[in-house]
Amino acid sequence: MYRKPTFASNLIRHLVIWLVLVFALFPVIWIISGSFNPANTLVGQKLIPEQPSWVNYRALINSPQHPFPLWMWNSIKIALITSILAVAMTSLAAYAFSRFRFRGRRNGLFVFLLIQVFPQLLAMVAIYLLFLEVQKIFPAFGLNTHRALIITYLGGAIGVNTWLMKGYLDTIPRSLEEAAYIDGASPFQAFYRIILPLARPILAVLFFLQFIGIYSEFVLARVLLSSKENLTLAVGLQTFISEQYGKRWGVFSAAALLGAIPIVLLFFLVQKHIVSGLNRGGVKG
Amino acid sequence: MFLDKVLAKKILKIFFFATFDALALWSAVTLYTQQAYTFLVILLIGTVLLNLTYLSEKHYPLKYIVPGTLFMLFLVVYPIFYTVYVSLTNFGTGNILSKDQVIRQLEERYYHPENATEYSYAAFINDDNGDYIVLLKDNAGNLLLGQDGEIEEIAGNDNRLLDQDQDGVIEQIDGYRLLTRKEIFKNLAELQKIKLHAQGKVIQLKNFASFTEYIPQYNYRPEDNLIVNLKNGEEYFVEEGYFVSRQGERLEPGFRFFIGADNFLRLLQDKRISGPFLRVFIWTFQWAFLSVLTTFVLGMILAILLNDKFLRFRGLYRALLVIPYSIPAFISALVWRGLFDDTVGIINKLLQAVLGSGLPWLNDPFWAKTALIIINLWLGFPYMMLICLGALQSIPEENYEAAAIDGASGWQQFRYITLPMLLVSVGPLLIASFAFNFNNFVVIYLYNRGRPAMVGAQTPAGATDILISYTYRLSFESGRGADFGLASAVTIIIFMITALITWFNFRYTGALEEVKENV
């Protein structure tokens, strides 16, 4: 299909790509520029700030009105705890589905597949009401607690990941465990000592994907969390900027940039797996 | 040594489950006293299941599956069923509580009868834990001791009452110290919380100087299913989630109750609801379709360009073009909201410089929708580019060679080879992407929260609201109060559409059959 292009057609191709590049990168560049613009408004912003300064970053870190570092910490903490627990529970379930033969195995796998058809956010009203009830009885797990949010995320994380993980485990030859059994290992030891170390790559990928997904989640956090010091970055940033684009643009830009950097880095780290996962039907949230 | 280890493990396990079951039992008692029977059943089933799974050696694989499954059942499956239940009720502001809870609440309301006894009082405090005792005296001079919500008659010479200086004023009871007038004034709010129960009455603080009797105002008669106002004998009957008198007076709060398909009928028949709902419904489909179309077209063009081995800087271009996809969507949506801002946004400033005036990106339905499509194009084209790049590599080069020999033009090669083959392999992903955007709450809500508002809508519906953001606003942002029932009805409709799309996708790809063969 492709031949060595003529000069003109080559020029057109590069032009088209450059045009899209401008579209793709302009918001990013504009945010970087805005974060260094000391005026903190959208009105007077130039592409290259006349007197670049760290003023917005300092305001971001020090303001008690919008505890950005705390929000960021909340997001990282919640994403971290959820991802670790989710990967642990996922590997256990995936191992059983991959290695053991038992009644109800196929049906169980189907249920896991069918449930993930309905994204958890669809049931946000029910989940909110659920924790409203829980709150009356066990306030420690009620609305506006990180525990409630983590538990919610855990519930939603199991279905998809079990399938991805099972697919990977199926490719590890059984002979490895059989050798371990002969040496007297229990099934759990075989899983823990033999299979898990071999599955490290997929564990890492699942962990990072899960982390990215939860860090970026907005709806359920919005519904379940309410007090300022409990918010995640996604909800905090939204309440902070809420319609005040004229006045808070500089600080918001700095926050957006700092908030995005960890995820962008993680994304490029696991990009290869995201891309191969894409062709298997995953859609990033 | 080995045996010891096994034994130690067993003991540890039994110890762990003993603790766990004790905790579960404690929770069960709490749940029972709170009359939270649904949770109680869930807790009991869960506990029994966990014990059976881990303490017996039967069903060994379950040990691996149960932890994750429990979370999934409780937070994915149960909410789905609960949504169905709520959609069939009038659950919402004013009707939050169950009927039992409302009856209990009403029965705890008291009124002050006309000939009620009044008591002068002295209050005593335990400085260690802040508990109070009150000593009441009626007009006849009888003494009553009120403690821990109970009342007890007491003689003036009871040995608990200490009057050390013999001036007729008790200074101490059981180690509780008399409050001065100043302290009473300071602790009035605390004293108001004291409720002393005696023979169906409640004795409570009336004003600074006295306590008085209150008697229950409402009584529920289960055999007639009605509430009687004991003050005036008025009867209140159950009517549409409230207790209502013959004159039509309603007792607040209302309770939630089963209303069948009413919420669904409201969506279809109530003109002030169905009109906006229909517009939201249509826009949701337009939005999902246009999102997929625009992102796919741009992604495909870029993929075809970048797939060319003769193109310089391919790797660099690809890495840069993926950047929008790597940024969390909530950040991108908020940033774009700033760029599109009507008054201070850079886009309108550029338009002003070029065209002389900006566009109403937030307040005009058409332009708000256009902005959303542009934003979602930005967010989504890298994904389409990546999947198309993957798919293009699987199209054999010979097809093009054969076509070239037959004299096909570049366009014909694209139209009859590239596009059909691309669509076959990325088709399922396009459908998945449609389903995803169908519920793409983040972009819609963070850009403009569904606004501009529709004129004349009874429910909070906006021109850019999609179904999922509509349910959110019905539940959490309505000025008229939450309508969880209606929101859940809309959610059920989303469930059905999502299920339909997915079913279609499975049929189209044969994914289910493939899964069946491979599990």
What whole-number distance in Å separates Cα of residue B133 and Cα of residue B119? 14
Distance CA B17, CA B24 (A): 10
Domains of chain A from N-terminus onward: 7-58 (no CATH), 66-242 (1.10.3720.10)
Sequence-ordered list of residues with C-beta below 8 angstroms from that of B328, at least 6 positions apart, any chain: A212, A215, A216, A234, A259, A260, A263
Give the integer Cα–Cα distance in Å for B358 and B351. 5
Chain A hits for B381, CB-CB cut-off 8 Å, are 20, 24
As a whole number, mean pLDDT of residues B503-515 equals 73
Q: What is the DSSP letter of B175?
A: T
Q: Which of B34, B331, B391 sits opposite A137 (nearest CB)?
A: B34
pLDDT at A285: 32
How many CB pairs below 8 A link A and B? 280
Q: ipTM of the predicted structure?
A: 0.90
Interchain contact, A128 vs B418, CB within 8 Å: no
Does the pLDDT value for residue A254 go beyond 80?
A: yes
pLDDT tens for A114-147 read: 888 888 899 999 999 999 888 888 888 889 999 9
- Flag if B330 and A128 touch (Cβ within 8 Å): no
CB of A135 within 8 Å of a chain B CB? The answer is: no
Closest CA relative to residue B495, chosen from A126, A223, A149: A126
Query: Cα(A190)–Cα(A195) distance, rounded to whole angstroms?
Result: 7
Question: How confident is the model at residue A218, as a pLDDT?
Answer: 95
CA B476 from chain centre, in angstroms, equals: 9
SS3 B254: coil
Q: Does B82 touch chain A (CB under 8 A)?
A: yes
Q: What is the largest CA-CA distance in chain B?
A: 123
CB proximity A172 to B under 8 Å: no
pLDDT band at residue A284 using 50, 70 and 90 as cut-offs: very low
Residue bearing the bigger pLDDT, B287 or B91: B287
Q: Which of B72, B346, B386 sits opposite A278 (nearest CB)?
A: B386
The letter for the amino acid at B141 is G
Residue A192 CA, distance from chain mean position:
27
Closest by alpha carbon to B156, among B168, B148, B167?
Answer: B168
Is the pLDDT score of B260 beyond 70? Answer: yes
At B149, which helix (H) or strand (E)?
none
- The pLDDT of B169-189, averaged and rounded, is 80
Q: How many CB atoms lie within 10 A of CB B388?
A: 24
Highest mean pLDDT among A176-180, B117-121, B290-294: B290-294
Which has the closest alpha carbon to A259: A92, A125, A71? A71
Q: Decide which of B468 and B400 is more confident.
A: B468
* Residue A130 to residue B82, Cβ atoms within 8 A: yes
Three-state SS string over B102-144 comes to HHHHHHCCEECCCCCCEEEEEEEECCCCCCEEEEEECCCCCEE
Kindly state the tokens that stand for B196. 């002393």
Q: Measure the CA–CA gap between B505 and A277, rounded to whole angstroms.
A: 18
Give the span between the Cα atoms of B406 and B386, in whole angstroms.
31
Give which of B41, B63, B65 to mutate to test A binding, by max A Cβ within 10 Å. B65
B32 and chain A in contact, CB less than 8 A: no
Q: Which of B93, B76, B92 is nearest to B495 (CA)?
A: B76
3-state SS of B316-346 is: HHHHHHHHHHHCCHHHHHHHHHHHCCCCCCH
Residue B274 pLDDT level (bands cut at 50, 70, 90): confident
3-class DSSP state of B424: helix
B121, B142, B106, B113: which is closest to B196 by C-alpha? Answer: B121
Tell me whether A278 touches chain B (CB under 8 Å): yes
Interface of A with B in 103-132 (CB under 8 A): 105-106, 108-110, 112-113, 115, 117-130
Does A5 sit behind a cis peptide bond, omega within 30 degrees of 0 on the bond before it? no
**Whole-number mean pLDDT of chain B?**
85
**Chain B residues 408-467 with a CB less than 8 Å from chain A:** 413, 417-418, 425, 428-429, 432-433, 436, 439, 441-442, 445-446
Distance from CA of B141 to the nearest CA of A (A): 43
> Taking each helix axis from N to C terminus, what angle separates A233-241 and A68-99, rounded to the nearest 10 degrees?
150
CA-based nearest distance B482→chain A, Å:
10
* Three-class secondary structure of residue B221 per DSSP: strand
Alpha helices (runs of H) in B270-313, residue ranges in sequence order: 271-306
For A166, name the nearest residue in chain B, comparing CA atoms only. Answer: B519
CB under 8 Å to B46, separation ≥6 — which residues?
A: B70, B74
Question: Which pLDDT value is given to residue A278?
Answer: 52
* CA-based radius of gyration for chain B: 35
- The 10 Å CB-count burial string (b at 16+, else e) for A165-189 is bbebbeebeeeebeebeeeebebee
Please, what's the b/e burial string for B147-176 (b: 16 or more CB within 10 A of its CB; e: otherwise)?
Answer: beeebeebeeeeeebeeeeeeeebeebeeb
pLDDT at residue A51 tops 80: no
Q: What's the rounded Cα separation, in Å, for the pair A238 and A242?
A: 6
Which among A15, A122, A164, A191 is the top mutation candidate for probing chain B, defined by the most B β-carbons within 10 Å of its own β-carbon? A122
**Cα Rg for chain A, rounded, in angstroms?**
24
Asked if B59 has any chain A CB less than 8 Å from its own CB, the reply is yes
Residue B34, phi then psi, degrees to nearest 5: -85, 0
Cα dihedral sign, B335-B338-B340-B346? negative
DSSP string, A59-83: HHHH-SSS-HHHHHHHHHHHHHHHH
What integer pLDDT is reported at residue A125 of this predicted model?
Answer: 92
For A13-38, write each residue's pLDDT tens digit.
Answer: 899 999 999 999 999 999 998 888 87
| B 318-377 residues inside an 8 A Cβ radius of A | 319-332, 334-339, 341, 343-346
**What letter does residue B73 receive in the DSSP assignment?**
I
Question: Is the CB of residue A12 less than 8 Å away from at least one CB of chain B?
Answer: no
Given a cut of 90, whether residue B245 has pLDDT beyond it is no
pLDDT at A62 over 90: no
Q: What is the mean pLDDT of chain A?
A: 85
Are A13 and A21 within 8 A, CB to CB? no
pLDDT value at B188 more than 50: yes
Q: Which amino acid is at B52?
A: L
Q: Are strands B132-137 and B226-229 parallel, antiparallel or unpaired?
A: unpaired
Please name which of B154, B73, B316 lies closest in space to residue A25, comparing C-alpha atoms.
B316
List, as ranges, residues 213-272 from A with C-beta within 8 Å of B: 215-216, 218-219, 223, 234, 237-238, 241, 245-246, 249, 252-253, 256, 259-260, 263-264, 267-268, 271
Contact A147, A140 (CB under 8 A): yes
What band does A277 get if pLDDT is binned at 50, 70 and 90?
A: low
The mean pLDDT of B306-313, rounded to a whole number, is 85
Single-letter amino acid, residue B116: A
pLDDT tier, A1 (very low <50, low <70, confident <90, very high otherwise):
low
Q: What is the pLDDT of residues B128-171, one digit of tens each?
A: 877 888 888 888 778 888 888 788 888 777 777 777 777 777 77
C-alpha–C-alpha distance, residues A260 and A220, integer Å = 20
Buried b (16+ CB within 10 A) or exposed e, B427-440: ebbbbbbbbbbbbb
